[in-house]
Amino acid sequence: MKKHLLSAADLSRDDAELVLATAEELRSLADRPIKKLPALRGRTVVNLFFEDSTRTRISFEAAAKRLSADVINFSAKGSSLSKGESLKDTALTLEAMGADAVVVRHWASGAPHLLAHAGWARSSVVNAGDGTHEHPTQALLDAFTMTRHLGSLDGRRVAIVGDVLHSRVARSNALLLTTLGAEVTLVAPPTLLPYGVEGWGVETSYDLDAVLPKADVLMMLRVQRERMNAAFFPSVREYSRRYGVDARRMATLQDHTIVMHPGPMIRGMEISADVADSERSVIVEQVTNGVAVRMAVLYLLLGGSQPAIGGDDA
Amino acid sequence: MTDYLIKGASVLGGEPRDVLLREGLIADGSSSGAEVVDADGLVMLPGLVDLHTHLREPGREDAETVETGTRAAAMGGFTAVHAMANTEPVADTAGVVEQVWRLGTEAGYCDVQPVGAVTVGLAGERLAELGAMADSAARVRVFSDDGKCVSDPVLMRRALEYVKAFDGVVAQHAQEPRLTEDAQMNEGELSGRLGLRGWPAVAEESIIARDCLLAAHVGSRLHVCHVSTAGSVEIVRWAKSKGWPVTAEVCPHHLLLTDELAASYDPIFKVNPPLRSATDVEALRAGLADGTIDVVATDHAPHPHEDKDCEWQAAAFGMLGLETALSIVQTTMVDAGLLDWAGVAERMSTTPARIGRLAGQGRPLEVGEPANVVLYDPSVSRVVDASELASLSRNTPYAGMELPGRVVATFLRGRPTVLDGKLC
Ligand SMILES: [Zn+2]
């Protein structure tokens, strides 16, 4: 493993499989009465959030605490309009606190990269979602969830449907799933596929109905209603009709196909309630798996001196 | 005033000869009493003229002042710069352009020719008093809303027509605003991967095509700032083939650097228009070589450290250029065999002076002409050290790069502003 996890592209196949295997070990912990391991005792993990995301922050916080790390939550104000708190000053502060790992969520693409490489801090940096760039731990937990249901991802077909253009989840998944041998198809109206997507080494399609019967995994992405104001699509109704998944479309899936969503969902827009709540849906499980995967990432990045599971915390 | 005898200079890259600078002019006759400058191995060019410089004063004296910016210009071999209008306050009145012009005269490192804003406050809504700026002591002839595009086609048409009254030219920053909202880098495969909003070539090319048609329609001079794409070169080539009064500039950074550098997320490489692809770079070099692109202009854009030491999206656009321009042109054009030194003189001195209607600049290196000259050593190389630059700012994209060439001396009307590679 590299020192930082900034992009899913930082992970070789061996790295990714090690994270998934470690997460599998750690997940067994979730079923035990005592959920804490001493692996990162004395280490400090900072959750640095320049953008609100309670779900992601809680997931990382739980992961770090279960490994006995000290956790500091740090929310910084600011946006692309008001620069606000400087990333550099914040990094220097964290460095002074002796942070071993910084989990960073930021509205600007590349902010974690800058934090890792600008020479401001020595800690490991974990990208917890940056702008419209990447969200590698989300991709890892998605891959983890897929392997638990489908086994090896080699040759498996994953359809990622929705606002790919603005989605960091789609970018990280396209990279990671390809590394793991899966065949990814990005499905969206042409306006919501990134310029130059032909070079990504994945399939693309504008036709959801053609993709559904072949998919082993159907991953729905959130689509913000506001996108229609910028002419990405004409109306919510038309979007749902062409790219939303409802019971009728779900019926065309293979029996083993699972339905995923990174959340937060907009029921009725990209996914209907009966699909979200169906037996195929692994959306709730994704959340549980998120903690195990983030434990594995923190453990491996910080090179925990003891085995990940070396006995319960006494 | 000291006379200088420049011994053995290769004038425009030709056979070595001696050149006497006396009383501000290139002279002949006796050189007795003149200070001798050994120019063995040095190329002599007419003092360079920049059509596109941001000196930041008034308003952003934390980034650059007329004094520091013109010191940087002298170090780069320039004897005249056109100071862009996007200051605070905007150079949209006779008062502001005269202030900038006066500051330049007082600093004395090179001629400072203010550019006037096309529209009041660069707001793109109504014409600034172009005639008043033309009639002022600053004698403005180049008008530009640079940083912003005059995107309203009617306003652009009127500006082009209006400046005919005083032989002016409108220098357009070609950027269709709606196509580039929050744009961060060249739109290509990489922008999609990096999650940075794309700045598509079509946003530049569509404005250039429109403006060329307008310039032809009303018979006015159009100058296109910082052409950055292969498509733009094609459009300008087409307009010129029709005989239309269109000129264009390219920046040194667009001749050398590509959008791949954005993958570092280091905002030192953030510039507007953005760094483009290797194909674009190649087309720009070819366009400059064949004269489709008339001039090299620096778009020298100083920014204080904190405006670059941050997230890419939050960082300012722009990079320094004055002190490295000639080196970049040497490496991309001269050493590549695309341009000789006479060609460099034309594109960095003669033609920009003609476009800007600067009478005493960009003149032939002949007896009786103003002694605006630069001595350049193309045989040495240097590693760029940002901390050694004369500019107040440090935002050079070339820091740590080894570049060929060094400006040894710059003379402004016979007086050295740089000697032995040092400011006088
Ligand atoms: Zn510009």
> Is residue A269 included in any domain, yes or no?
yes
Least Cα distance to B80 among B384, B377, B366, B357 occurs for: B357
pLDDT of residue B73: 98
Residues A66 and A140 in one domain: no
pLDDT of residue B156: 98
pLDDT of residue A93: 87
pLDDT of residue A79: 54
Q: Do A168 and B194 touch (CB under 8 A)?
A: no
Most B CBs within 10 A among A81, A109, A232, hence the mutation to make, goes to: A109
**Catalytic option among B111, B145, B299, B307:** B299
In chain B, the domains with their CATH numbers are 47-362 (3.20.20.140)
pLDDT of residue B375: 98
Residues A111 and A14 in one domain: yes
Taking the C-alpha atoms of residue B249 and residue B52, their distance in angstroms, rounded to an integer, is 9
Residues A122 and A165 in one domain: no
Strand partners, B370: B25
For residues B397 and B269, is the Cβ–Cβ distance under 8 A?
A: yes
Q: What ipTM does the predicted assembly reach?
A: 0.91
Residues A177 and A61 in one domain: no
> Is residue A3 included in any domain, yes or no?
no
A157-161 and A217-220 beta bridge pairing: parallel
Residues A115 and A166 in one domain: no
Residues A96 and A186 in one domain: no
Calculate what percentage of chain A has a pLDDT beyond 70.
94
Residues A118 and A253 in one domain: no
pLDDT per residue over A197-224, tens digit each? 999 999 999 999 999 999 999 999 999 8
For residues B347 and B295, is the Cβ–Cβ distance under 8 A?
A: yes
Q: For B192, which of A118, A134, A197 is closest by C-beta distance?
A: A197
> Is residue A1 included in any domain, yes or no?
no
Helices first, then strands: H and E counts in chain B = 12, 19
Count of beta carbons in the 10 Å neighbourhood of residue A196: 15
Q: For B311, which of A108, A132, A194 is closest by C-beta distance?
A: A108
> Is residue A296 included in any domain, yes or no?
yes
Taking the C-alpha atoms of residue A277 and residue B327, their distance in angstroms, rounded to an integer, is 65
Residues A160 and A36 in one domain: no
pLDDT per residue over A220-236, tens digit each? 999 988 888 889 999 99
Residues A81 and A167 in one domain: no
Q: Do B198 and A195 touch (CB under 8 A)?
A: yes
Residue type, B77: G
Residues A85 and A165 in one domain: no
Residues A81 and A29 in one domain: yes
Q: Do A131 and B188 touch (CB under 8 A)?
A: no
H-type alpha helices, B87-138:
94-107, 130-135
Average pLDDT of chain B, as a whole number = 97
Task: List the domain range (segments joined by +) for residue A122.
Answer: 8-135+287-313
Domain count, chain A: 2
User: Please, which pLDDT band fits residue A78 given cuts at 50, 70 and 90?
Assistant: low
CATH assignment at residue A67: 3.40.50.1370
* Least confident segment among A37-46, B79-88, B400-409: A37-46
User: Please, which pLDDT band fits residue B332 given cuts at 50, 70 and 90?
Assistant: very high
3-state secondary structure of B80: strand
From ligand 1's centre to the CA of B225, what distance in Å? 6
Q: Is the pLDDT of residue B57 over 80?
A: yes
Taking the C-alpha atoms of residue B33 and residue B20, their distance in angstroms, rounded to an integer, is 11
What is the rounded (10 degree) CA torsion for B152, B223, B148, A110?
Answer: 130
> Is residue A245 included in any domain, yes or no?
yes
What protein residues have CB closer than 5 angstroms to ion ligand 1?
B 146, 173
Q: For A109, which of B187, B266, B313 is closest by C-beta distance?
A: B313
For residues A174 and A186, is the Cβ–Cβ distance under 8 A?
A: yes
> Is residue A278 included in any domain, yes or no?
yes
> Is residue A2 included in any domain, yes or no?
no
Taking the C-alpha atoms of residue B260 and residue B262, their distance in angstroms, rounded to an integer, is 5
B223 annotated among ligand-binding-site residues: no
Detail the DSSP E strand segments found in A261-305. Answer: none
Taking the C-alpha atoms of residue A278 and residue B407, their distance in angstroms, rounded to an integer, is 73
> Is A225 assigned a catalytic role?
no
Q: What is the mean pLDDT of residues B191-211?
A: 98
From ligand 1's centre to the CA of A226, what distance in Å? 31
Residues A97 and A211 in one domain: no
> Is residue A97 included in any domain, yes or no?
yes
